[in-house]
Amino acid sequence: MDGNVFGGNMDFTIRAATLEDCKDISRMILELAEYEKVSDQVKITQRDLEQDGFSKNPFFHGIIAEVPEQHRSKDGHAKVGYSLYFYTYSSWKGRAVYMEDLYVMPEYRGKGIGKALMSKVAQLGLAAGCTQLNFAVLDWNKASLDFYLSQGCFDVTADMGYHCMRCEGEKLINLAQGDA
């Protein structure tokens, strides 16, 4: 899965995430949540990531974008981007991959890192027999929407009328107990 990518004058590597990356993934999840103005909603800890991503039956997989020593961030980070993904199933189309997060630290954007991360998730999905890549993007995030559209993606809500639904917390417990 290792692969060096050279974009402009910035070289970086995309590789499979390991247990040792969970500290940096946790840091970047918080950075992403701050960017999306929902940092109060992050409940996941580094320990949760270690258990959920690196147990016998992982709930997610991850990839990391890493830069060499000389390109470390101002805070000394070499791990500058990540994507978390997992496999799902479409009753119409079969195997699918869901990209939960795609994040690149602000100072590293525009260098092809996000595109390389997304491309790697697509490659992994195809290798696993998936026919589609699914993900969500906030409606106000025009830069990301434009990026995804430029990669050949389409807006399922706009084009097909689907809405992403969720049940959580007490309502989820009620639903599970048949009290909904």
Active site residue 85: no
Order of strands across the sheet that contains 132-134:
3-7, 10-16, 61-66, 79-90, 94-104, 132-134
The string of DSSP codes covering 12-33 is EEEEE--GGGHHHHHHHHHHHH
**CB-neighbour burial class of residue 91 (10 A; exposed 0-12, middle 13-18, buried 19+):** exposed
Which is catalytic among the residues 85, 103, 148, 162? 148
Tokens representing residue 42 in the block: 């992050």
Catalytically active residues, by annotation: 148
